[in-house]
Structure 1
Amino acid sequence: MTKHFNKLTSLVLGTTLVATVASAAGGGELEKVMKARGLTENDVIRAAKTYNPTGGRDEFIVFSSGGQSGQVIVYGVPSMRILKYIAVFTPEPWQGYGYDVDSLKILRQGNIRGREINWGDTHHPALSEKDGKYDGRWLAINDKANPRIAIIDLHDFETKQIVSNKVFKSAHGGAFFTPNSEYILDAAQYAAPFDNNYHPIEEYKESYRGGVTIWKFDDKIGKIIEKDSFTVEMPPYMQDLSDSGKGVSNGWGFTNSFNTEMYTGGIEVGMPPNEAGMSRNDTDFLHVYNWEKLAKLAKDKKNVKIINGHKVIPIEVAVKNDALFLIPEPKSPHGVDVSPDGEYITVCGKLDTHASVYKWSKIKELIKSKKYTGKDPYGIPILDMKSSLHGQVELGLGPLHNQYSPVDGEIYTSLYVDSQVVKWNYKTLKVLDKENVHYNIGHLCGMEGKTADPQGKYIIALNKLAIDRFQNVGPLHPQNHQLIDISGKTMDLLVDMPLPLGEPHQAVAIRAEKLHPHVRYKMGTNSKTGKEHVGKTLAGQERIERRNAKGKIDPKGKNVFIYSTFVRSHINPERITVNKGDNVTMYMTNLERAQDETHGFTVDNFNVHASLEPGETAEINFIADIEGVFPYYCTEFCSALHLEMMGYLMVKDPNKKYVSAQKIKMGTMNKEQLDAEYKKTVAVNDATDAVIQSVVAFLKANKFGDHKTVAALVTDAFDQYGQIPAQKKLADEAYKKGDIEKAILFENMIWQLMVKTADVGIRAKDALVRLVATKQSASAQAGERTFGEGGCSGCHVIGKVSSGPDLTGALQRHENGEKWVSKFILNPEEMYDDPYVKSMIDYFNLKMPNQHMNEQETKDIIEYLKWIDENANLF
């Protein structure tokens, strides 16, 4: 019933959209745009399917590998708008990743054999699962170049852990969660000795090995537990991608391979190249292993070898315990994918035109009855390929990767050579549809397409080449992700998205509703650990401490600790003086509670940067090894007084004697002039306060507390305003003592606090107006849009006299007001001699220009003005 209803709804909506486009194309602005750009109706429909209006949200969120950037790219579907880059294996300046102490600790977890590694080649992101379905909590991703796995916390989209593989030298085949996130499967790529010693290539078969590392994962804290992790030794067959069984095959893992020939090249000594020698055989091997049984075996030290401090289960132990098997598969495969119910396992060989579908129940029976066709050179039992298969189907040239849909048996496969996506049925083994893409597609990204609950709707083609699709920006072209609508009988390519970062290799998509990220941290949180930061500093706790080597406060110590706070628009403290050679540690706490009020921090010339989200505490550290004066400032534009959010680090040489400059006094003002300046400053503050009080009265009258988003802004404004009495007391005391100069400075500080209060307060008022005003009609919405886009707002500010008169009540100022205003909008020059218009021209010294509005636009503006009058008390 639900499926039929959804199809009917889709049909009705689609028909309505076509009708709307066809109607609009008959005349008006849309027709002009379509003609000017050479667009068809189908182009407009495709655009509408991917368009998100301002403030709109996507249904799905995609996490794509960033390839050689070492990062993760986050974008939305269907809009294909990039939302974030997540720093993982590579320093990332904007977020301060690798430039503040806490993030640098994460980055340094990825050191290998004591060496700093500052780049990565991210390949396969994986989302944590519950019962084979994405739970939206954790994201794992591998680094092929330097065998590592990183864990990203999806509560704040930050990398929290990097673990290096102690026995692999490269690892392409990760990361793949088991159905309840107990483990992460991570296969080696290029076979190499597990130890860190030299072994000649002639000993390849004896000393080189492949394998799958099975990382123990604690899904409660989002961490890999290294001591409970282990590697299954495998032959040097170049293990590639993996998938974990689910449903009926839960507890088993599947990893394909290439180079079962165990060829090692030697082009420099006259041998055929690797690509020839590694693809001689008609088949390679699919590795089938019982990770659940292997995990139990790994707990007994008799079953493992310890290599580089890491547990390894030897081949013979896995074989002896019936936990490792091989099945021939099409040569040079590049992926293995388990169906949503776990019964079917699809493998595509990129040098074959076929997809091979294995059936778990057949494999399970062969294992149970020990029906083997033989063993490989390492003693691993081999199952018969034909007896394991459900069947094969010819798809096209270069089949690679697969994604499933909610339709029974439906699967989508990328064809690298043919540059196509093919839809087919893995149960009936019939091809259903093909769609051309641009060009040389690698991976596919379905909407939760490799889970027990695939969503269908869209497929994304991750293409390796863009060639002629975008504006030429040099020899290096972007990658091209193409969104394909799969909701109909045939596939429909909707939109191209250039990705100019690394080589996005694989991507996973999840329903946006499953993600629940924070909007702020609990005050003083270390975002990398989730715990309270040792440097947490609240307002009034700001200080500078000098300590000795033992950590005790000592005026002669060389370790300077600065406890600072950040809030719009100042950094406290604003002056820091240290000695050349001091070891400087600065703790920074963002005191903001408002959403999206990030602050950044840097000290010029010292190569440090931190990004402070609301509530976060971060730490930077540097040696003050050069003398001079160095401004520090907030790097994130945060308020109207952003440029004033700064301070000075002054580094003096303790071995030098400095001649003090004469203190600069306030010009040549006498006492009377200073007193006049003081009174002027107080008067400005009083006037500003009157504006603030009017805003406060409006907010209270309209029950701002009933609206959470507005209440948060008001709280933030009151935080600023609450600091004024203390400053006022200092100003009054200074004035009574006759120190007018200091009193003026304090009054200036009051003015800055008032500006910040007004800034937030007016934002709160504007937000509240929209919440409490009557709902706009479609015509009034169009009128407001026309009012803004047509240039009206350049002179007219609703609720205020600006370069032109306030239009609140404009329709009541004239007899037949609507007709009068309409006529004036359509032909203003014909009314310049009207007495009322002439008086306005004389007053504002400005004539209303003809904005060339048409009659419909004019009608819409009239409806907008009516809406303003209905809500006049709010403006």
Structure 2
Amino acid sequence: MKPVISKISSLLLGTTIATTALLAADVELSKVMKDRGLSEIDVIRAAKTYNPSGVKDEFVVFSSGGQSGQVIVYGVPSMRILKYIGVFTPEPWQGYGYDKDSLEVLRQGNIRGKEINWGDTHHPALSEKDGKYDGKWLAINDKANPRIAIIDLEDFETKQIVPNPVFKSNHGGAFFTPNSEYIIEASQYGAPYDNNYHPIEDYKETYRGGVTMWKFDDKIGRIMPKDSFTIEMPPYNQDLSDAGKGESYGWGFTNSFNTEMYTGGIEVGMPPNEAGMSRNDTDFLHVYNWQKLAEVAKDPKNVKIINDHKIIPMDIAVKNEALFLIPEPKSPHGVDVSPDGKYLIVCGKLDTHASVYDFKKIKEQIDKKEYIGKDPYGIPILDMKKSLHGQAELGLGPLHTQFSPVDGEVYTSLYVDSQVVKWNYKNLKVLDKVNVHYNIGHLAGMEGKSADPQGKYIIALNKLSIDRFQNVGPLHPQNHQLIDISGKSMDLLVDMPLPLGEPHQAVSIRASKLHPKVRYDMGTNTKTGEQHIGKTLAGQERIERNGNHVTIYSTLVRSHINPERITVNKGDKVTLYMTNLERAQDETHGFTINDYNLHTSLEPGETSTFEFTADLEGVFPYYCTEFCSALHLEMMGYLMVKDPNKKYESAQKLKMQTMSPEQLKAEYDKTVSVNTATDAVIQSVVKFLKDNKFGDHKAVADLVTDALDQYGKIPAQKKLSDEAVKAGDMEKAILYENMIWQLMVKTADVGIRAKDTLVKLIATKQSAEAARGEKTFAEGGCNGCHVIGKVSSGPDLTGVLQRHENGEKWVTNFILDPEKMYTDPYVKGMIDFFNLKMPNQHMSEKETKDIIEYLKWVEENANLF
């Protein structure tokens, strides 16, 4: 019976400890809630969005950056911003637009020979397979300067920018067709296709709208302009678009405003555009068969060529029964195709209804050629009532719709009411509403415009934040609000300020669908994916001159840039190739030269290029802009630009002025001694790694490879040092020995990282308490004096619990109130030896217990430290 009693006792004890821990946590939580004025629902909402350190999000969101010309990436449910992607605008941290290779991408966006360095990004779109997001490519439009950019989701970098040769603005882009065959881009404001002047009085005759179907190669992620075409449309100010799927596959839908074709004239006493452009009761939804028109465009007789681009005229599209119009509520702002492709939802900003169109009814009228008339350009008009499934009264200012995995369930933004409404587009019933803050534009559901919507959350992209955040001046951030839609009623969880441009639309994808790289193949041109022409490996560094063209092949690795001294003549054209030789994940190096407006970011394996004219005389330091290692500040060099037409007075060379030969020898012996001691540390690490079979763990083996790369350079430096000693040049010998020391430091830096990684992999698993204790040990500053496994500013704590009678209690008392124990003989001896006193870090009893558990774990694995 004793073993059974013992097991029951242990179980009861464990239950008691767990209950005590829960009660303590509850007391702590209650205190936090009281101190911060939080309700229980506040805490629940916080818990729904909180990611513990190291835990990643379920979804990744790509939001347009508005006037920043960039894309913003953040996670859901945490709403943590992960990255800004440079697209149409230079982005300094990534060096986008500052080095030659990224500048070539940015310059693809030049329009009529003019450099354009800003953009107004609106609608990001994810590439699709069978209408579902595949996580390979992201496209986004620039409304201000009609362009489409392609971002590679293997590295989240912009790879292509394509200007529209006939549009003067776009808003209805970018939208992928269901298998990423094409990207839809609709113009916004009617304008002439050519680049000539046309008087506004000729608006109806010479101004045009349109939809461009950009042919897309989803294998390489590039738009193919020569295989693309534009469908000519009336100057009705085309707006947003969507591609049909399932039943409506092969069709595209684009709504419009200003079917009045009003052109304003407020400056000459005419009513403003806002009055004249909203006079009609309805505008037009454009319905076009892009699949048929793609075949039509292959025949040169069916197209006009303007600015080297194919245009399908309206009469050709109509003749081929591929372009139609349907009346829709006036001033609409969005058309959204259901996941099965059977329905289209259109909302008008000036209407309280959402109009649900039935594609089957639309197709029946087209097949039977049942038209209620034609517009002034001869485009057949279908009957609105016959096309509708029905209308639902939603509220004021309905705009955009996202779909749910629940059949018929959708979410629509209400701009004027500042609400999100949940409703059913099949039975046309409103189910729920939630207030947002304030004046919502787009919505972002979790894969909510795909054939496979995920539900769970929806994000309100609000235009105003007003009083929601700390006042930072008259220009407020915008507000993205995360809403939980998993229950019967919607629940607004959290606000997220977005202080970059005016985000318009966002798309989301399951993080599990994204598979980005963590490093490049060595010497990659990341903008093309090919091997870079300037790829340089260790030992290949060199400077070549051809007339006044100087080419430098350089490398960067912790912690030096090779070469460290570059001398050129004023007026030289300089090409600088740089290769990041790192293989370790996240070991990015940056590079800049002062006064030359140059910067690049080099991820592991990347090669990049600078091209510039050395037009400033002087000495210009260059350095690594990413804090990459303990010797980061030493990772620098000098560009020296001299004027070949000047005669420079040579300054007397600096020497070790007051040092006698004996002193130089002593300095040399001292340096060699330090190197010998450092090498002993390296060898001890090597022995540990070998003894514990580091090769069984790839992450460790990669680090060891990096360390050996550095260590393998030492023999060559030692040979040079020995030759200098033999020649009696102790100054040079000391310099070579110092270089050996730097290589050893870099070797030790990576080697110790490898050892620490290996320890974590092979040590016994930490309990939750020990893990908390390790975190507390670090955050409490304990490791500022105590380094596990060796004596540092304080004693090594490996085995500390065995040094004292009732060691756990002794260490606990010392942590909680060290001052009381300063007179203890043992403690006094430590104070005298280290010349330091243990400070009171004001640890709680719970934190102290966790630290004790961590020290027990250290003791269990003492052989590894």
Q: TM-score range by the shorter chain?
A: over 0.9
Give per-residue Cα distances to partners, 1:316-344, cap 9 Å, x unaligned: 00011110011111110100000000001
Larger deviation: 849-858 or 306-315? Answer: 849-858
User: Would the aligned equivalents of 1:446 and 1:509 in 2 still touch at CA under 8 Å?
Assistant: yes
Is 1:203 aligned to residue 199 of structure 2? no
State the Cα distance separating 1:831 from its structure 2 match. 4.1
Q: Secondary structure at the match of 2:764?
A: coil
Larger deviation: 691-700 or 338-347? Answer: 691-700
Map of 2:308 onto structure 1: 309
Aligned positions of 1:355-394 closer than 5 A? 355-394=354-393
Given candidates 822, 826, 840, the residue that maps to 2:812 is 822
Aligned positions of 1:556-705 closer than 5 A? 557-705=547-695
Give per-residue Cα distances to partners, 1:366-417, cap 9 Å, x unaligned: 1111111111111111111111111110111100001001111110101101
State the Cα distance separating 1:800 from its structure 2 match. 2.5
Aligned positions of 1:13-24 closer than 5 A? none
Given candidates 677, 694, 697, the residue that maps to 1:707 is 697
User: Would the aligned equivalents of 1:720 and 1:756 in 2 still touch at CA under 8 Å?
Assistant: yes
Aligned positions of 1:665-814 closer than 5 A? 665-814=655-804
1:244 counterpart letter in structure 2: A
State the Cα distance separating 1:798 from its structure 2 match. 2.2
Map of 2:247 onto structure 1: 248
Give per-residue Cα distances to partners, 1:149-202, cap 9 Å, x unaligned: 011111111111111111100011100000000000000000011111111111
Larger deviation: 831-840 or 176-185? Answer: 831-840
Q: 1:589 to 1:787 in 2, by over 3 A?
A: closer
Q: 1:377 to 1:468 in 2, by over 3 A?
A: same
Aligned positions of 1:265-280 closer than 5 A? 265-280=264-279
Measured in 1, the distance between the counterparts of 2:240 and 2:566 equals 54
Q: 1:27 to 1:301 in 2, by over 3 A?
A: closer
State the Cα distance separating 1:27 from its structure 2 match. 4.7
Q: Secondary structure at the match of 2:227?
A: strand
Give per-residue Cα distances to partners, 1:11-52, cap 9 Å, x unaligned: xxxxxxxx9999669853322221111111111111111111
Measured in 1, the distance between the counterparts of 2:693 and 2:809 equals 37
Q: 1:129 to 1:26 in 2, by over 3 A?
A: closer
State the Cα distance separating 1:842 from its structure 2 match. 3.8
Give per-residue Cα distances to partners, 1:78-106, cap 9 Å, x unaligned: 11111111111111122111111111111
Q: Secondary structure at the match of 1:427?
A: coil
Measured in 2, the distance between the counterparts of 1:852 and 1:119 equals 52
Give per-residue Cα distances to partners, 1:766-800, cap 9 Å, x unaligned: 22221111111122223223333444434433222
Aligned positions of 1:165-204 closer than 5 A? 165-204=164-203
Measured in 1, the distance between the counterparts of 2:622 and 2:777 equals 42
1:710 counterpart letter in structure 2: V
User: Would the aligned equivalents of 1:24 and 1:31 in 2 still touch at CA under 8 Å?
Assistant: no
Q: Secondary structure at the match of 2:598?
A: coil
Larger deviation: 605-614 or 452-461? Answer: 605-614
State the Cα distance separating 1:544 from its structure 2 match. 1.2
Map of 1:9 onto structure 2: none
Q: Secondary structure at the match of 1:626?
A: coil
Map of 2:511 onto structure 1: 512
1:91 counterpart letter in structure 2: P
2:858 counterpart letter in structure 1: I
Q: Secondary structure at the match of 1:168?
A: coil
State the Cα distance separating 1:839 from its structure 2 match. 3.2
1:189 counterpart letter in structure 2: Q
Identity of aligned pairs, percent?
83
2:584 counterpart letter in structure 1: A
State the Cα distance separating 1:838 from its structure 2 match. 3.8
Measured in 2, the distance between the counterparts of 1:750 and 1:262 equals 76
Measured in 2, the distance between the counterparts of 1:90 and 1:601 equals 20
State the Cα distance separating 1:356 from its structure 2 match. 0.5
Q: 1:606 to 1:359 in 2, by over 3 A?
A: same
Map of 2:225 onto structure 1: 226
Map of 1:12 onto structure 2: none
Map of 2:15 onto structure 1: none
Larger deviation: 376-385 or 846-855? Answer: 846-855
Map of 2:7 onto structure 1: none
State the Cα distance separating 1:309 from its structure 2 match. 1.0
Measured in 1, the distance between the counterparts of 2:318 and 2:624 equals 60
Measured in 1, the distance between the counterparts of 2:202 and 2:19 equals 71
2:669 counterpart letter in structure 1: K
Measured in 1, the distance between the counterparts of 2:797 and 2:606 equals 45
User: Would the aligned equivalents of 1:22 and 1:41 in 2 still touch at CA under 8 Å?
Assistant: no
Measured in 2, the distance between the counterparts of 1:580 and 1:852 equals 61
Map of 2:343 onto structure 1: 344
Q: Secondary structure at the match of 2:226?
A: strand
Measured in 1, the distance between the counterparts of 2:23 and 2:177 equals 51
2:292 counterpart letter in structure 1: K
Is 1:837 aligned to residue 827 of structure 2? yes
Aligned positions of 1:24-63 closer than 5 A? 27-63=26-62
State the Cα distance separating 1:852 from its structure 2 match. 4.2
Is 1:335 aligned to residue 359 of structure 2? no
Measured in 2, the distance between the counterparts of 1:119 and 1:826 equals 57
Larger deviation: 704-713 or 104-113? Answer: 704-713
Map of 2:145 onto structure 1: 146
Given candidates 839, 844, 847, the residue that maps to 1:857 is 847
Measured in 2, the distance between the counterparts of 1:698 and 1:306 equals 71
User: Would the aligned equivalents of 1:21 and 1:41 in 2 still touch at CA under 8 Å?
Assistant: no
Q: 1:806 to 1:541 in 2, by over 3 A?
A: closer
Q: 1:546 to 1:356 in 2, by over 3 A?
A: same
1:622 counterpart letter in structure 2: F
Give per-residue Cα distances to partners, 1:404-443, cap 9 Å, x unaligned: 0111111010110111111111111111111111110000
2:525 counterpart letter in structure 1: N
User: Would the aligned equivalents of 1:148 and 1:164 in 2 still touch at CA under 8 Å?
Assistant: yes
Measured in 2, the distance between the counterparts of 1:706 and 1:746 equals 36
Aligned positions of 1:374-523 closer than 5 A? 374-523=373-522
Map of 1:286 onto structure 2: 285
User: Would the aligned equivalents of 1:425 and 1:432 in 2 still touch at CA under 8 Å?
Assistant: yes
User: Would the aligned equivalents of 1:24 and 1:30 in 2 still touch at CA under 8 Å?
Assistant: no
User: Would the aligned equivalents of 1:678 and 1:740 in 2 still touch at CA under 8 Å?
Assistant: yes
Q: 1:20 to 1:470 in 2, by over 3 A?
A: farther
Counting matched residue pairs gives: 848
Q: 1:189 to 1:21 in 2, by over 3 A?
A: farther
Map of 1:10 onto structure 2: none
Map of 2:13 onto structure 1: none
2:302 counterpart letter in structure 1: N
Measured in 1, the distance between the counterparts of 2:99 and 2:19 equals 54
2:564 counterpart letter in structure 1: E
Measured in 2, the distance between the counterparts of 1:246 and 1:82 equals 32
TM-score (norm 2): 0.96
State the Cα distance separating 1:851 from its structure 2 match. 4.1
Q: 1:383 to 1:756 in 2, by over 3 A?
A: same
User: Would the aligned equivalents of 1:95 and 1:610 in 2 still touch at CA under 8 Å?
Assistant: yes
Q: 1:613 to 1:848 in 2, by over 3 A?
A: closer
Larger deviation: 674-683 or 195-204? Answer: 195-204
Measured in 1, the distance between the counterparts of 2:407 and 2:661 equals 89
Larger deviation: 637-646 or 225-234? Answer: 637-646
Give per-residue Cα distances to partners, 1:99-142, cap 9 Å, x unaligned: 11111111111111111111110110011101101111111100
Which structure 2 segments of 5+ residues have no match? Answer: 1-17
Q: Secondary structure at the match of 2:124?
A: strand
User: Would the aligned equivalents of 1:804 and 1:844 in 2 still touch at CA under 8 Å?
Assistant: yes
Give per-residue Cα distances to partners, 1:828-850, cap 9 Å, x unaligned: 44444444334334434444444
Map of 1:114 onto structure 2: 113
